[in-house]
A and B are shown apart, each in its own frame.
Chain A
């Protein structure tokens, strides 16, 4: 029986880091996109959503080309003495890129559903754009954004194809649970694969339950009703 639990920690670290990155990037992109019309932003939308429609191996291959020794970003990083390919950051990059569209779409939908008169009211009351976002838009869009965060986290946790292409399967370094399952099955260690799979199911269930509970407590309107 396997005693090395490194894939569990690697998976969690990767998914959490990737989710934080997509939450920040996805929100920033959605906010930037919110008040823009035209062909340019629409074209960028296509690029942003590409990881959702492309097979993960293709995404991984593209990332490999970009971050490889001869790729534009790879060469730049090499200049500073860093390599991304087959390192832990590569698992994060793969997971972040693949989960980004889910986050971006959710945040955008949440922002578009906001009552714009509320944002305008905040402006007439003297609020800066940052304050409008932080005090009005963010709290009201948060339930929708949280749904996006859950989706993105789940997608990052389950990421396999792009990760394998960009990060490989180095035990203790880039071997996440999905990759460990694949390696186990390939090596004929079915019981090991079953254990990893059960751990994955447990993590996912705990996460969904935790998020559900948290949403109902954190929703400020509900929370206040409970307190009174």
Chain B
């Protein structure tokens, strides 16, 4: 693998222990704030020193505690895009981009700066100072500057978090194209699961400094190995559970027996189902499995979707058991039907969580 990172570093509240490798394609590192994501990047870039372990890039040891190797940040050839972009405020856009370029004749240098600017569609802003740019433009300059050193690996630390929603999706599209052309290891740190999914085919989930899961994004989202990972990938409904027999699981918090694809010997701690997988069965529908009477506790309306908070067993009581997400069209179709409705947990969509 072009990039291998196996190291430990003691932090204030936990020990960061990363162990992963990255191919010549983007890998998203997903985790809540304070899970050690940024620290992982800083260790690879050489801005922080791990306590032990090793970091190998294209066969070259950047850090190896056993061999006492600790290459200085400036010699690692690793591009780091900071969350705050860290553009030099006293240098203009062209000077910022040229900062890390290898010494060359002025004309050749200018040509290369122009080329980098063209890459991020900022040809006309070469003479501007960073503070005269919009957030999206600043982000693109920072990206061009990191790429101008022709890095062997690119590290991106929440590069979209400082942008507003509208700008974010535009910049994200451009970033996906840039990363596709990069063809070298790229680590993309984010706490946004959807962003992680869109940016990278491979995802690593980090929590409290530990690798909770890693693999293809489909694998991570469809079969999260733990409740923690399931929650990080947006799971809203879960219940403690135990296996009764093959294909039968008791959801203890929901107090129902569910039919799902599970072995009698399966290790199971929780079952879960994503909010958008819940369906509602019409009164006429017979022979449906996992259909339970439910009452609406409250709703939360977004422009095109509605989140329904549902109670099982009875309308009375505090809180809710399940959270369902339905489209507005769907919602208008059944909202006036008499309660209880019948909520349906399709067996194929039920997540089995060993811990």
Residues of chain A at the chain B interface (Cβ within 8 Å): 115, 117-118, 120-128, 135-136, 139-140, 220-221, 224-225, 228
Contacts and interface: CB of A to CB of B under 8 A. Distances in A.
Nearest to A142: B90
A119 to B, nearest CB: 9
A121 B90 contact: no
B99 interface: yes
B163 interface: no
Nearest to B97: A125
A96 to B, nearest CB: 30
25 contacts: A117-B82, A118-B86, A118-B89, A120-B73, A121-B86, A123-B47, A123-B74, A124-B45, A124-B73, A124-B76, A124-B78, A124-B79, A125-B99, A125-B146, A125-B149, A126-B74, A126-B77, A126-B100, A127-B99, A128-B74, A135-B88, A135-B99, A220-B90, A221-B89, A228-B127
B46 A124 contact: yes
A164 B101 CA distance: 55
Contacts of A118: 86, 88-89
Nearest to B131: A221
B297 interface: no
A124 B99 contact: no
A118 B96 CA distance: 11
B141 to A, nearest CB: 12
Nearest to A119: B86
A220 B88 CA distance: 12
Contacts of A139: 90
B86 A120 contact: yes
A121 B82 contact: yes
B129 A125 contact: no
A139 B90 CA distance: 7
B37 interface: no
Q: Which 4 A-B pairs have the closest CB atoms?
A: A125-B100, A121-B86, A123-B73, A117-B86
B interface bracket (residues with beta carbon within 8 Å of A): 20 to 34
Contacts of A115: 86
Chain B's interface: helix, strand, loop or mixed, by majority? loop
B145 interface: yes
A121 to B, nearest CB: 4
A125 B145 contact: yes
B148 to A, nearest CB: 8
A109 B75 CA distance: 30
Given A117-B82, A221-B129, A224-B129, A124 B90 contact: no
Contacts of B72: 123
Given A117-B84, A120-B47, A221-B129, A127 B74 contact: yes
Nearest to A135: B99
A102 B74 CA distance: 34
B82 A126 contact: no
B80 interface: yes
B115 interface: no
Contacts of B129: 221, 224-225
A123 B74 CA distance: 5
Nearest to B99: A125
Contacts of A220: 90
Contacts of A127: 74, 99-100
Given A117-B84, A135-B99, A124 B47 contact: yes
Contacts of A126: 74-75, 77, 100, 149
Nearest to A121: B86
Given A118-B86, A120-B73, A220-B90, 13 more contacts: A123-B46, A124-B74, A124-B79, A124-B146, A125-B74, A125-B146, A125-B149, A126-B149, A127-B74, A127-B100, A135-B99, A139-B90, A221-B90
A140 B47 contact: no
Interface string B52-79: 0000000000000000000011111111
A122 B74 CA distance: 8
Question: Which residue among A123, A128, A228 has the maximum number of chain B CB atoms within 10 Å of its CB?
Answer: A123
B80 A124 contact: yes
Contacts of A228: 127
A120 B80 CA distance: 10
A136 B88 contact: yes
Given A115-B86, A136-B88, A140-B89, A121 B80 contact: yes
Nearest to B92: A224
Contacts of A136: 88
A225 B77 CA distance: 34
Interface in B88-145: 88-90, 92, 99-100, 127, 129, 145
A117 to B, nearest CB: 4
A227 to B, nearest CB: 10
Contact of A122 (B79, B84, B89, B99): B99
Contacts of A124: 45-47, 73-74, 76, 78-80, 100, 146
Nearest to A139: B90
Question: Which residue among B46, B73, B76, B127 has the maximum number of chain A CB atoms within 10 Å of its CB?
Answer: B73
Nearest to B102: A126
A186 to B, nearest CB: 51
Nearest to A117: B86
Question: Which residue among A121, A135, A140, A220 has the maximum number of chain B CB atoms within 10 Å of its CB?
Answer: A121
